[in-house]
Every structure is written in C-alpha cells, then in structure tokens.
Structure 1
Amino acid sequence: MGSGNHRSIRFPVSGVRPDFEGCYGACSSSARPGRIENDSPVGHLPETENSPGGTPVLKNTRRRATILGLTAVAGLTLSACSETGSTGESQVEGLTETTGELQGEGATSQQRAMDLFATLFESNSPGSTLSYNATGSGSGQSQFIANTVAFAGSDSPLKDEQIADAAERCGGNDAWHLPMVIGPVAIAYNLEGVDVSLTPALTAQIFDGKITKWNDPAIAEVNEGVELPDTDISVVYRSEESGTTDNFMKFLTSAAPEDWEHEASKSFPTANGQGANGSAGVVDQVAQVPGAITYVEAGFAKDKDLGIAKMDFGNGPVELNADTVGTALDQVEFSGDGNDMVVDSEALFAMDAEGAYPLVLTTYEIVCSAGYDETTRDLVKNFFKIVLEEGQSQELEDLGYIPVQGEFKQKLVDAVDAIQ
C-alpha cells in the first residue's frame, strides 16, 4: 500500500431509508427456490421487513471515502466481459454461456441473501445452480483454502497467516474480499414485556459472566423506571467458529476495553454461557430460555420476536433501526489494496457518534482473483454479476440487509470483471 496525501470524497445522500418496523418473517412462510444448505435451517424466510439503506464507499492509503446512502447510478449495467454475452433470457448483460453447480460455504448471517441470490442465479443463467452450505465463517474459509468450494462467505477477513494458503489455493494469485452482504447485529434477549437499554460496558460484563441478574444495580442504573425482573441471565453464544463472534468480540474490545479482556477470535470464550450452532441456533435457544441473551444478526432476532436492546454508546440509548444504522454507515471507512476490500472494523466499532448504531456486520465473499478452471471462473463471475445487478433490491432490504449502491457498487462490479 502506498503512502502520500489522503483525499476525502463525499457523495450526496439519497432519499429516506426504510425502517425496521412491521412484519419481519411472520408474514409469510413461503421459501424461495434454490439449494441452500445450513447447519440449523430456518423454517421460513422473512418477506416484508424493511432494513436500512446505506452504501459503503472505499478507503485505502491513497484514497478515502465515507459510506452514505447513495442513489444507484441511473442505467448502470455490467459491461460485457465474455465472448458470448448473455443467454438471451437474462436481464443482466455480459454473462458467459455456461452451466453447472457453483459451490460456496460459510457465514450463516447471509443465508437469507444467498437464498434470494440462488433464485436470481437460476433465472438469469439457466442451467446454473448455487449450492451454499451455511456452516459458519471459519468453516467457509477452511473449505475455500482446501479448494473444496469456489468461494467462502465470511464475516471476518482472512488472517495474515491464511493469506499465503489462500494464494496457493488460487494458483499463486491473491484472494480478494468482496463485501457484498451488510446488516446490523442485535443484542437479543428473552424478557417478555421488558424493554432494556445496555451500554457496551454492561454488554461486556454480561457476556463475561460478571453480571448474572437482569435486575443487577448496574443494569437498573441505565434503565430508570423499568421494572427489571429478578431473573438469571443465560448467555448463549455461537458454538462453532463464527465471523459474527469475531466481530462481536472486536466490538467489545473497541467499545469497552476496560470490561472485555478477551482477544477477538472466531471462537467465543466458553467459560460462561451455552453454545448453539449457527445464527438460527442461538435464537432458537434464547427463545426457549427466559432471561437468555445472545448476539445475532437482526433478522434472526426479529424472526423469533425476541427483545432487542437499545445501546447507549455515550449519547443516550440508541434503537436499532434504519436511521441509526445508516448514521453509523455514513462514517465507516474501508481499507484494502485494489480489488481487495476490508472494513476498518476498529474505527467502526469504537464509534460514539450521536444517533449511530455501529454494531454492523459486513460479510465478505472471498474469491480467487485468478486461478479457477474456466467453468468455475465463468460460474463465479456470472453469479456475482447477477448478485450486483439484480440482487441489490428492495427484496434484499426486506430480508434485513443493506443493498450496496453507487460508487462502492461500481467498485465491486469492477472487481468481479477483473477475476481471471
């Protein structure tokens, strides 16, 4: 990465962001087609919940930009990068004529998005299918490095010691992190009829086992006028390696360093609480245990009608909704060289801007920049072109994610085009 003067670029904010209120998953039980496998499947997919609109824009040592809710570039289409063009049935330009099964594995946080993307892939590229195995970020990274799958979904970037192994898997070429799925993380709990506010410090103490009752004086102090029950707090964490866990621990380290001494990792410290497998698994467990609490993507918490804590980052309690998440995203920076894009999570999670909810999860699609066989390369490029052109939609927002738009979307388009 080079050195020199930084320059800052800002873009105009688009219209009003949709909010989280309303039906979230309970309104429909119809699942979309597409082969999606996961360790703890959800019985239905949410159909009509709105989520925040916000757009990440990149930053590196040569250039920097802030995330803003951008208006999608009018008439944006993908440039043709194949000899054959599209199949004729697709609305997406520049697809290569190919068929086969594309295999991916990893983060459970994006399994709803992948279900939508699988449907779009099949309809825009007849004869092509997606098999996405939602086993967790750590497993996805391992299977990608082992050359078992074409791409990994991961809520955390590869570690430094994994970079060389990933490059070897890619035939001596770099692996790229493409952040295509973004959504907020909730501190979700099971206390019927009780609205709770927490601080990062209280959250750290709860998940570290230092606060064990919901009516603890420290919790009562920030919940004046709320009748807190004398109920045990049961911590539920992800039992498998998880990028959500890694990001949650990074959040606690950045936002409450004096109260959280554990090093960030994909594996949660097991001395306190009970583990459950996958995002669906932790909310299932919390829903069954009064007083239980977990960290999970907002859509899963809404699915189970769990309470979602307001978070006081220093300027009063902040509700998790479209506006507060959008305020945080407006200020996020990304780092990376060229087409490899990695979130500056430390700056994001330490944010204390008024009205901002910075506990936001970025899911990367980890791909080879080159080194695939011809068929796999064409499937990978076709799939992610379709994801970017057709998948960044209201339907994706309804599932609880934040569609990428504008300048950052174009950066992703360029990266996919550059895969060889």
Structure 2
Amino acid sequence: MVTTRSTKAALVSLIACTSLVLGACSEQSDSAAPAGGSESAGDMDLSGATGKLTAEGATSQQKAMEYFRTKYGAAVSGSSFDYTATGSGSGQKQFINGTVDFGGSDSPLSDEQAEKAKQRCGGNDAWHLPLVIGPVAVAYKIDGVDNLNLSPDVLAQIFGGKIAKWNDPAIAALNDGATLPDSDIKVIYRSEESGTSDNFQKFLKAAAPDNWSTTGKSFPTATGSGANGSKGVITEVSATEGSITYVEAGFAKGVDGVGVASLDFGDGPVELNADNVGVALDHLKYKGEGHNMIVDANALFSMKEKGAYPLVLTTYEIVCSAGYQDDNTTNMVKDFLKVALANQDSELENKGYIPVKGAYKEKLEAAVDAIK
C-alpha cells in the first residue's frame, strides 16, 4: 500500500529515534552523558597505554569509529586514534601490510589473506571480532511511493537487470494497491571494492539462489552505474528519480526523498528495525573457532526465522591475536576495543548501529582480554 507523507515521517522518526535509527538523529557532543550504561575508565580495566593508534577499512563503521575515537581519547589521556574509511578491501590490505594496527572489514579474510596476516602477526593468527553491527538498507527514490515491499528474488532480478521497470508485475504483486510508475529502474552500486557489496551479493545468493550466483567485493557492472563509497551511492540515489541501491542503514536516514524498502521472505514484509534485526542476531552461527568470531554468512542470509531481518553487516575488527610490534601497541589496541565495547549505548544506536549485548558482548570481551 502507499502511505501518506505524514505516516512516512512518523515511521522514519520511530525507526530513527526509538528502535534502529537509520543514522545520526543527534550529532551532539560526545561529552554528553550517554544513556545505556557506558562505563568509566576504571570499570574498563584499561592499561592507559598512550600513543597514536591507527586503523583503516569499512565505511560502514565510520560513524561508530568516530564515536569510539572521542570516547577513547576521553578515557585514555594522551592517546589518539585515526580511522581511515577507505573500504573493507583496503582495510584488509593495510592490516596485512602492517600499515595500520587493525583493519575494519564487512567480510572476513580469505584463507590466503589469513596466512599473510599470520605472517604480519609474527606467526600468530589474526582474529575477526564482529564488534560493529549495522543493517543494510535497500534504499530507493520513487516520487509518490512512500512504502515499498520487495522480496529477495525480485531484488536479485532488479540488480541483475531482469526486472527493469518499476511497474513490473513481480513488484506489483508485492505492493497491492500501490501506484507504481511505468519508468526505468536505475540501479546504483558501489564502484570500489567493498565489504558491503560482498555481503549484499552473499545475501542475494543465499536468499535468492535461482536469480543470483556471484559473490565478491566487486559488484557486477552490467546493470546500472557505480558510485564510490556509502555516501556516494546514497547521494546518487537522492539525486536520481527511479533509483535503487544497497547501503548501510545509517547513511539512508534523513535523506530527502529516499525511502527504505521492507523485505518479504515469504511470510509478509519485514521492516528494517532494531527488533527485527535482533531476531536475526539471536540466531547467529559462527565458522571461526575460539576467539576468531567469523559469522556464518550463508546461515545468516538464508535465515527464515519469522520476523527476522537478516540483511545485516557484522563488521569485523581484524586484529593480531598476538605478535604486535611492542607491548604498548598491544595495550592500545586492547584499550580501544574495551572502550568501544563499553560504549554500546543509545548514542551508538542513534548513529545507525545495533548495540551488542548479552552473551554476544561477553564473547567479544573475552576475545579482547585474550589478545597478547
């Protein structure tokens, strides 16, 4: 159905400020007292190591890293943190090369990369710590269509070029009563190597295997046009009538004229909100062993739990389990990660992420403590 503009505004406000929050409802000073139980420096058992810590990688976690940077600087006087958001592929490469202290990536290292990372870590394994949780939005711009339902199969056919018109019968069947335009669908994809592209393709392959077969950090270029980075694709969509893209949820909030589709996995449309993402997180499975927390993406993306929204990025901090160049660097990495875990609060949620909690958070805390 087509909702009114006022209804849409209310829904966006609800998503943004009480459940998931598709972006930064508030960019107020990080010095404000956060709700949600952030801890003091003493509670975090920090080493207090000082110096400059560096990381690079996924744009999906950029806003989270900016938030953690401020909290880290406040918790450890004399420390600093620099995060360069260049994409997951670059983050992996720079970590392996030893250029940065840890890498941020929406997808795990390949077996070949893991061996190279082990060399960088002095013969010790690199661990994947899925610390930043952010859902992926299917964002679109269609004048007059404020509510859009899509299924994984239809989504795969859109991005694969098989469905090229917005009033295609397959889309109309999922949107009873909606007035869909007889206009071209303009696909926008990430032009650079991206963990978001990798995960979105894994999702399409797992959830719509009959209509999608490719995976990888590079998105197929046969359909649509590319834009660089998360900001790039959402900027293109906001400026292009009839367009559609995949983007981290935090970047889709508050963009004029841009809507977020609900996904129908066979049991009715599922909205992108914290509760529905939470259903998916409650059923995560892992491929990694011990403290190497590699999420089983196929199990996540093919999930059929009622009410689950499984199109979720579990963004990893890729760290050396041991073997950093000196104890000070090791302690800085651990301090930063402890600060990040202590600030899984409402302010983080207001920036478009799902704060980790419960047994999942405890598993991450144990892994950070085990870094040597």
TM-score, normalised to structure 2, is 0.89
Q: Quote the Cα distance in structure 1 between the aligned partners of 2:268 and 2:165.
A: 23
Within a 5 Å distance, the mapping from 1:337-416 to structure 2 comes to 337-372=289-324, 373-389=326-342, 391-416=343-368
- Offset at 1:210? 1.1
Report whether the alignment pairs 1:292 with 2:243.
yes
- Structure 1 runs not aligned, ≥5 long: 1-17, 34-46, 54-71, 78-88
Residues 123 and 323 of structure 2 are in contact (CA less than 8 Å); yes or no, is this contact kept in structure 1? Answer: yes
The residue type equivalent to 2:220 in the other structure is P
* Residue of structure 2 equivalent to 1:238: 190
Match of 1:20 among 12, 15, 30: 15
Please give the per-residue CA displacement for 1:137-175, whole angstroms capped at 9, x wherever unaligned.
000000000100000000000011111100001111100
Change beyond 3 A, Cα 1:97–1:321: closer
The residue type equivalent to 2:283 in the other structure is Q
Residues 19 and 323 of structure 1 are in contact (CA less than 8 Å); yes or no, is this contact kept in structure 2? Answer: no
Within a 5 Å distance, the mapping from 1:201-212 to structure 2 comes to 201-212=153-164
- Offset at 1:353? 2.3
Within a 5 Å distance, the mapping from 1:85-100 to structure 2 comes to 90-100=41-51
Q: Quote the Cα distance in structure 2 between the aligned partners of 1:321 and 1:29.
A: 20
Within a 5 Å distance, the mapping from 1:323-342 to structure 2 comes to 323-342=275-294
Report whether the alignment pairs 1:160 with 2:117.
no
* Residue of structure 2 equivalent to 1:37: none
Residues 32 and 115 of structure 1 are in contact (CA less than 8 Å); yes or no, is this contact kept in structure 2? Answer: no
Q: Quote the Cα distance in structure 2 between the aligned partners of 1:25 and 1:255.
A: 26
The residue type equivalent to 1:377 in the other structure is T
* Residue of structure 2 equivalent to 1:114: 65
Task: Give SS of 1:331's match.
Answer: coil
Measured on the aligned residues, the alpha-carbon RMSD in Å equals 2.3
**Stretch deviating more after TM superposition (329-338 or 410-419):** 329-338
Q: Quote the Cα distance in structure 2 between the aligned partners of 1:27 and 1:174.
A: 39
Task: Give SS of 2:48's match.
Answer: coil
Percent of pairs with identical residues = 59
- Offset at 1:27? 5.2
- Offset at 1:204? 0.3
- Offset at 1:375? 2.1
Q: Quote the Cα distance in structure 1 between the aligned partners of 2:127 and 2:192.
A: 24
- Offset at 1:28? 4.7
Report whether the alignment pairs 1:218 with 2:153.
no
The residue type equivalent to 1:304 in the other structure is V
Residues 274 and 354 of structure 2 are in contact (CA less than 8 Å); yes or no, is this contact kept in structure 1? Answer: no
* Residue of structure 1 equivalent to 2:82: 131
The residue type equivalent to 2:227 in the other structure is A
Q: Quote the Cα distance in structure 1 between the aligned partners of 2:45 and 2:303.
A: 40
Q: Quote the Cα distance in structure 2 between the aligned partners of 1:416 and 1:352.
A: 32
Q: Which has the higher helix share?
A: 2
- Offset at 1:256? 0.5
Task: Give SS of 2:244's match.
Answer: strand
* Residue of structure 1 equivalent to 2:6: none
Residues 106 and 316 of structure 2 are in contact (CA less than 8 Å); yes or no, is this contact kept in structure 1? Answer: yes
Count residues in correspondence: 352
The residue type equivalent to 2:98 in the other structure is N
Task: Give SS of 1:399's match.
Answer: coil
Residues 19 and 322 of structure 1 are in contact (CA less than 8 Å); yes or no, is this contact kept in structure 2? Answer: no
Please give the per-residue CA displacement for 1:250-277, whole angstroms capped at 9, x wherever unaligned.
0000010111122x10110111111111
Residues 16 and 25 of structure 2 are in contact (CA less than 8 Å); yes or no, is this contact kept in structure 1? Answer: no
- Offset at 1:192? 2.6
Change beyond 3 A, Cα 1:152–1:219: same
Q: Quote the Cα distance in structure 2 between the aligned partners of 1:355 and 1:414.
A: 30
TM-score, normalised to structure 1, is 0.79
Change beyond 3 A, Cα 1:26–1:402: closer
Change beyond 3 A, Cα 1:145–1:410: same
Q: Quote the Cα distance in structure 1 between the aligned partners of 2:337 and 2:266.
A: 39
- Offset at 1:323? 2.0
Change beyond 3 A, Cα 1:29–1:368: closer
The residue type equivalent to 1:216 in the other structure is D
Within a 5 Å distance, the mapping from 1:310-329 to structure 2 comes to 310-329=262-281
Residues 187 and 293 of structure 1 are in contact (CA less than 8 Å); yes or no, is this contact kept in structure 2? Answer: yes
Please give the per-residue CA displacement for 1:252-305, whole angstroms capped at 9, x wherever unaligned.
00010111122x101101111111111111101110100110001111111314
Q: Quote the Cα distance in structure 2 between the aligned partners of 1:154 and 1:177.
A: 9
Residues 188 and 301 of structure 1 are in contact (CA less than 8 Å); yes or no, is this contact kept in structure 2? Answer: yes
Match of 2:228 among 261, 273, 277: 277
Q: Quote the Cα distance in structure 2 between the aligned partners of 1:414 and 1:243.
A: 26
